[in-house]
Amino acid sequence: MDACRLNWCLRVVEADEVSDRVSVLFVGASGRSGSTLVGRVLGQNPGFFDVGELRFIWERGIQKNQLCGCGQAFHSCEFWNAVGEEAFGGFDKVNIDEVLALKSAVDRQRYIPHHIMAAKRKLKNSEMVGRLDRYGAILERLYRAVQSVSGAKVIVDSSKAAPYAFMLNALPFIDLRLVYLQRDSRAVAYSWSRRKLRPEIWNRKEFMSQIEPLAIAREWPVHSCLLDYLSRMVEFSTLLRYEDFVREPALWNKKVLTELELDTAAGPPIVRRHKVTLAANHSVAGNPMRFQVGDIEVHPDEEWKMKMKGVDKTIVTAITLPLLYRYGYLGREKRQ
């Protein structure tokens, strides 16, 4: 075969591989940054489907049977039963202990350098390659089943975590479109200090985790820098500030889809300027607001400005000062 013919064949194979990939709109952020709301709004565009934080399906869904966003226990949800049947012949066929062990062997921050190399196809660690291939094969069956059962072209995954995002980007079957969601570090720290009930745990009373502001001040820049780096790696990414989104949800919904080059047949699910209509969903995990349906008011949550302790505000501001300035939260307006 001559060189021209070979090059043409290679281009055809590459085109087929690209067209067969699963499009995932990934909302990456630090915890308590509003990813659940953003994911739900984006997931209601025609041809899109919001799964919430799919990263936690193994433990929170299959293992602990927590509530799906539709309000049913995971194993009682018709949608997830159909997904499990298509992907694995039923979730009861999944060896959950093996899957969780495999997940912990690849989905951790320490493995990000490997996933960067894997995404660039410059693999070196054969043991890690094997683990990533095995877990990737499981995830491929899951994501393709979600796409098939939902009938959606784009899966909206608000799993947030940088390690998981880097791993997805290293998997050949994933067409990753990244929304790098940012929120003021002081608002994030204040949110982590609040005591909130976890409604998805239906058989007992349990509250969401609470973390000290100092710990959040240390973690927030790390998450920010990792996701910023990933945004420069992937072909399609966009920065979205939560505060901007809740002020103009219709505008930013459209901007996100445009910048990620994702088509939608109709407008966003916006009723009026500061209201969105949320339909029932099948999110695996996320903020308690994933259970809300109907018209809801969307507005900036700035309670931290009045109620956050002065010493906590000072500590978080001091530690995260450079990035607060960079993202337009301090001293200057963010450039559009």
In tens, the pLDDT along 158-207 reads 999 999 999 999 999 999 999 999 999 999 999 998 877 677 676 777 76
Distance CA 320, CA 316 (A): 6
Mean pLDDT of the chain: 88
pLDDT at 272 over 70: no
Tokens 């956050």 identify what position? 308
Tokens of 110: 């320490």
Task: Give 294: exposed, middle or buried? Use CB within 10 Å, 0-12, 13-18, 19+.
Answer: exposed
Q: Among 143, 158, 174, which Cα is nearest to 27's?
A: 158
Distance CA 125, CA 331 (A): 45
When mean pLDDT is compared across 105-114, 146-155, 195-204, 266-275, the lowest value belongs to 266-275
Report strand pairing: 275-278 vs 270-272.
Answer: antiparallel
When mean pLDDT is compared across 11-15, 32-36, 113-117, 146-150, the lowest value belongs to 11-15
Tell me the one-letter amino acid at 209: S
Helical (H) or strand (E) element with 180? strand 174-182
DSSP 8-state secondary structure symbol assigned to residue 197: B
Task: Please give the CATH number for the structural domain made up of 21-326.
Answer: 3.40.50
